[in-house]
Amino acid sequence: MKRLSIVSCSCALLIAALPVLASDQDVIQYREAIMNTLNEQSAALGQMASGVVPDDSLVTDMNILALTASTALKAFQAKVPGGKAKPDVWANWADFSKRMNEFAQMTAAGAKVAKEQGKDAALVQLINYADACKGCHDMYRQNAKGED
Amino acid sequence: MKRLSIVSCSCALLIAALPVLASDQDVIQYREAIMNTLNEQSAALGQMASGVVPDDSLVTDMNILALTASTALKAFQAKVPGGKAKPDVWANWADFSKRMNEFAQMTAAGAKVAKEQGKDAALVQLINYADACKGCHDMYRQNAKGED
């Protein structure tokens, strides 16, 4: 099995020099990986904020969230509706990209605050994150499974 | 709906000052959030490595993976079997923690190489990551759904 994983990676290496021709499915999978990362890190931060798990990694997780947020808009730049993204993402691109850029700035600033000022200050930032996430999801994310 | 998210966060704030008493379910959910982050970022990196999506965020994603890896061992320190983790994680803690620490070191070094030397060098690092992931998952992760 070890060999298999190396072989599959080596094949990846061989085709990596080719021009990028992203299929629609690739584009959707990639942006879902980015948004799922935000979702998982938000869940971890939510648990730390509510005190149900230790908060040792709070600053690191806020950095992870900020770094991921910095890549998120680019993941939507190819105009490929599908997955959970509503077509409104591209119909209202100016608003969507403004929100995404603001979220990247907010989370970068929040991670800095958490590092410099500690947990209480970080929690205030996290409330702002949750509000920004919710506002954007309400506008631009399908809720096929009744999720928020 | 906005108000709801703020209220739930405010409640989180109120209980955040209490001592941490992680329930087993909280512990499992937290470590799954961390491991899912690694999984999502690995998927994104795999897509970039194989050239099916643009690689603009390659270095950032390698940093995200490295930061997440730096928090992963701590997520397993509470000895709570469940989720996909085999009991062997705690039965063979010396080996498990050695592998996790090595993975954190490997991904930190890999992110540095990617930043300094570019994509071709990064791809060599990613092969090593895949091998390390696979080796540890084969030993310590349940495959209830037939996943690797």
Nearest-angstrom CA–CA distance, A55 and B71: 11
- Using an 8 Å CB-CB cutoff, list chain A residues near B44: 30, 33-34, 37
Angle between helices A58-75 and A24-49 (to 10 degrees): 160
> Tokens 């930061």 sit at which residue?
B67
Cβ distance B71 to A57 less than 8 Å, yes or no, reads: yes
pLDDT tens, position by position, B135-147? 999 999 998 654 4
B9 and chain A in contact, CB less than 8 A:
yes
Residue B82 backbone dihedrals phi, psi, to 5 degrees: 140, 175
Nearest to B50 among A16, A33, A126 (CB): A16
B144 and chain A in contact, CB less than 8 A:
no
pLDDT computed for residue A21 by the predictor: 57
Sign (positive/negative) of CA torsion B34, B73, B104, B86? negative
pLDDT of B8 above 70: no
Structure tokens that stand for A101 in this block: 């850029």
Nearest-angstrom CA–CA distance, B25 and B78: 12
Contacts with A, B 57-116, CB within 8 Å: 57, 60-61, 63-64, 67-68, 70-71, 74-75
Nearest-angstrom CA–CA distance, A140 and A138: 6
pLDDT tens, position by position, A107-127? 999 999 999 999 999 999 999
pLDDT of B92 above 60: yes
pLDDT computed for residue A112 by the predictor: 97
C-alpha distances out from residue B29 to A40, A71, B83, Å:
10, 25, 8
pLDDT computed for residue A22 by the predictor: 67
The helix/strand count (H/E) of chain A reads as 6, 0
pLDDT of B10 above 50: no
Nearest-angstrom CA–CA distance, A76 and B44: 14
Confidence class for position B21, pLDDT limits 50, 70, 90: low
Nearest-angstrom CA–CA distance, B50 and B36: 21
Considering the entire predicted model, what is its pTM?
0.83
Sequence-separated (6 or more) residues with CB below 8 Å from residue A109: A125
Measure the CA dihedral A47/A34/B50/B31, to 10°. 10
Average the pLDDT over each of A3-7, A35-39, A88-92, B143-147 and give the range with the smallest value.
Answer: A3-7
Q: Which whole number is the average pLDDT over B59-81?
A: 97
How close A91 comes to chain B (CA, Å)?
23
> Tokens 């490295």 sit at which residue?
B66
* Max CA distance (Å), chain A: 49
Confidence class for position B18, pLDDT limits 50, 70, 90: very low
- Using an 8 Å CB-CB cutoff, list chain B residues near A60: 67, 70-71
> Tokens 């705690």 sit at which residue?
B90
Q: A148 or B115, which is more confident?
A: B115
Nearest-angstrom CA–CA distance, B22 and B108: 29
Specify whether the CB–CB gap between A73 and A119 falls below 8 A. no
Nearest-angstrom CA–CA distance, A7 and B131: 10
Q: Is the ipTM of this complex over 0.85?
A: no
Q: Please report the DSSP string for B70-134 in residue order.
A: HHHHHHT-S---BTTB-THHHHTHHHHHHHHHHHHHHHHHHHHHHHHH-HHHHHHHHHHHHHHHH
- Using an 8 Å CB-CB cutoff, list chain A residues near B38: none
A47 and chain B in contact, CB less than 8 A:
yes
pLDDT computed for residue A141 by the predictor: 97
Helices (H), A50-118: 58-75, 88-91, 93-117
